Amino acid sequence: MAEARPEFWRWQERRWRDDTVDPRAGGILSAGVDVGSVSSQAVVMVDGRLYAWSSRRTGGSSPDSAREAMAWALEGSDLRVEDLHFVVGTGYGRVNVPFAHKTITEIHCHARGANFMYGSKVRTILDMGGQDCKAIRCDERGKVVAFQMNDKCAAGTGRGMEVFADLLQVPIDQVGPMSLEVDEEPPPVSSTCVVFAKSEAAGLLRRGWPKERVLAAYCGAMAQRVFALLSRVGVEREFAITGGIAKNPGVVKRIERALGFEAVTGAVDSQIAGALGGALFGHALEQKGRGQR
Amino acid sequence: MITVGIDMGAKNVKVVVLGDQGVICRALRPAGLDTDQTARQVMAAALEEARVGRGDVARIVATGTGREDAPDSDETMTDVSCAARGAHELCPEARTVIDIGAEEARAIRCDARGRVQDFAINEKCAAGTGAFTEAMARALEVPIEELGPLSLRSTQAIPMNAQCAVFAESEVVSMIHNNVPRADMARAVHDAIASRMTAMVRRVGLEPPVVLVGGLGRNTGFVESLKRGLTVETIVVPEWPELVGALGAALVARGGA
């Protein structure tokens, strides 16, 4: 057996609940479950108010990941999955959410979620997920107008960043802050492919580059790549970033530098945007259904 | 006349010493950390084995990704030209030359005299190169040289959804969890590279016979996948597929490229 190695890529699983909200007060209980390739989130809303959420690492099976995310979000509350009126499944594994009433693509859900999280002035959303990256343009109601995505290549995704965290043996949540500890911005890593970028970075380390500088070069390369994607869809302010990479200031700051303005920030965890959008759709659909009944 | 071809690859440095009667000696070494030093060592070792002094060598031509850094060369020549030249020497009928190295892949169409008519290159992405097989062999926990024979024992074709080597690694890990036979996964890996190469060959136009050069020529499982992909019955693989570029460079050095 190989000895246990520290897992530098491993990010913190999180959950949250607002106990000032009473789920038993008779309001609509809606939920969104976003099963991504790397992480899964569950969001529960009471009458359109955020009640509870969880964010976990996706396991080998999508149905189990969906169930576990929801169970973890509801743990400690009086709610059970069966109590939820309308559940929307989204993300890469959306067709495998056993308790979902409907599936909606993550592009629509992210736009809807970002509209709630960052306000109706948001027109451009950059969702940087585990295995894909999307640039989305939306209107004041969070409705998608146009989008561009990369889901074929690890460059510019969270998975690529995890590979680098492991290579440099830097915990994933410190990659961004460390990459900003450089006096001068180094030229970005020139290889697009993560596999080749790894060799390039190993070469830079051998040449005596400190880790901070190598991370700066990689975060810079990622920002450059994402900027190209954003340029294809066109950036209109306000601009928001969702997904796990939104928590990496090394990438965010460099994207902002390239754009010439800052991304809006919100109080809600950027990784739950998709599931939150799903819960908002769920709420609207339940409301509509009741109106017709 | 004695000439030397040196191929500064991403992974290995290769040298071929060519005399009037043909190849006098060939040498290969991992490029390592200091490619420049490795190149000097391989060159010195090859000349010593060939029992020729540097002064006896009429001309040295360098090729490969790092060709500009080759020490002591008289001229540089592209990988495409050298692969075509070397393949033509070994198989004069060759019309399509496929060259897959550690970090690059090329599809080349030649005329009857071995001159390059058209070519396509992938040098940006590990999918479709030797680096892809290495990453997958690691994920499968199989020594790289056993990946080919293993895939020949496969009983069924299974699709690989991921193109990207990083994503494919995760896919292989989940296939392992789902108890997919390793032989079938190995085949899926080779089929994936073959399908990318087939698309490149289509861009330049497939004209048999097909010659496969570069390190991936040693992978018997990949050769089978490529045959299926290109729907050809035979693919010619030279005895020293990874040294064809260096041979081509030595031939260019002799003149009459």
Judge if A164 and A81 occupy the same domain: no
- DSSP assignment of B192-206 equals HHHHHHHHHHHHH--
Nearest to A15 by CA among A106, A62, A76, A81: A76
- The burial class, CB within 10 Å (0-12 / 13-18 / 19+), for A176 is buried
Question: Where residue B251 sits, what CATH number does that domain have?
Answer: 3.30.420.40
Question: Cα separations (Å) of A107 from A129, A146, A227, A272, B29?
Answer: 11, 10, 18, 13, 49
Whether A271 contacts A244, CB under 8 Å: yes
What average pLDDT does range A34-41 have in this prediction? 93
Nearby residues of B75 by Cβ (< 8 Å), 6 or more positions away: B59, B60, B61, B62, B252, B253
Judge if A82 and A124 occupy the same domain: no
Structural element, H or E, at residue B22: strand B22-30
Judge if B66 and B154 occupy the same domain: no
Structural element, H or E, at residue B109: strand B105-110
Judge if B125 and B146 occupy the same domain: yes
Instruction: Name the percent of chain A lying above pLDDT 90.
Output: 87
Judge if A173 and A109 occupy the same domain: no
Nearest C-alpha of chain A: how many angstroms from B167? Answer: 7
**What is the DSSP secondary structure assignment for residue B38, as one 8-state letter?**
H
User: What's the gap between Cα A129 and its chain centre?
Assistant: 5
pLDDT in the model for residue B231: 97
Structural element, H or E, at residue B243: none
Residue B29 has pLDDT above 50, yes or no: yes
pLDDT in the model for residue A10: 82
Contact: A60, B125; criterion CB under 8 Å: no
ipTM score assigned to the predicted complex: 0.87
Contact: B126, A195; criterion CB under 8 Å: yes
pLDDT: is A90 or B72 the higher one? A90
Chain A 73-102, CB below 8 Å of chain B: which residues?
none
Total domains, chain B: 2
pLDDT: is A67 or A1 the higher one? A67
- The burial class, CB within 10 Å (0-12 / 13-18 / 19+), for B53 is exposed
Judge if B53 and B87 occupy the same domain: yes
> pLDDT band at residue A5, thresholds of 50, 70 and 90?
low
| Identity of the residue numbered A287 | Q
> pLDDT band at residue A149, thresholds of 50, 70 and 90?
very high
The pLDDT tens digits for A101-148 are 999 999 999 999 999 999 999 999 999 999 999 999 999 999 999 999
Judge if A144 and A252 occupy the same domain: yes
Residue B106 has pLDDT above 80, yes or no: yes
Angle at which helices A158-168 and B165-177 pack, to 10 degrees?
A: 90
Residue A8 counted as domain residue: no
Residue A9 counted as domain residue: no
> pLDDT band at residue B257, thresholds of 50, 70 and 90?
very low
3-state SS assignment for residue B128: coil
Residue A158 has pLDDT above 80, yes or no: yes
Question: What is the rounded distance in angstroms from the CA atom of residue B141 to the CA atom of residue A17?
Answer: 43
Strand order, beta sheet including B210-213: B116-122, B105-110, B96-100, B210-213, B235-236
Judge if A100 and A21 occupy the same domain: yes
What average pLDDT does range B96-106 have in this prediction? 96
Judge if A109 and A30 occupy the same domain: yes
Can you say whether the dihedral through the CA atoms of A211, A217, A222, A227 is positive or negative?
Answer: positive
What average pLDDT does range A71-97 have in this prediction? 95
Residues of A in contact with B163 (CB under 8 A): 152-153
Judge if B208 and B223 occupy the same domain: yes
Judge if B37 and B114 occupy the same domain: no
Total domains, chain A: 2
Question: Is B166 an interface residue toward A (CB < 8 Å)?
Answer: yes
Nearby residues of B3 by Cβ (< 8 Å), 6 or more positions away: B17, B18, B57, B58, B59, B60, B61, B250, B251, B253, B254
CA nearest A200 in B: which residue? B10
Q: For all residues of chain A together, what is the average pLDDT?
A: 94
Judge if B102 and B85 occupy the same domain: no
Q: How many CB atoms lie within 10 A of CB B206?
A: 16
Judge if B144 and B204 occupy the same domain: yes
Domain that holds residue B56: 1-91+242-257
Tokens read off for A85? 């009126």
Q: For all residues of chain B together, what is the average pLDDT?
A: 95
Q: Does pTM top 0.90 for this prediction?
A: no
Residue A7 counted as domain residue: no
pLDDT in the model for residue B255: 85
Domain that holds residue A251: 120-263
pLDDT: is B177 or B249 the higher one? B249
What average pLDDT does range B186-209 have in this prediction? 96
What average pLDDT does range B163-170 have in this prediction? 93
Nearest C-alpha of chain B: how many angstroms from A214? Answer: 18
Residue B116 has pLDDT above 90, yes or no: yes
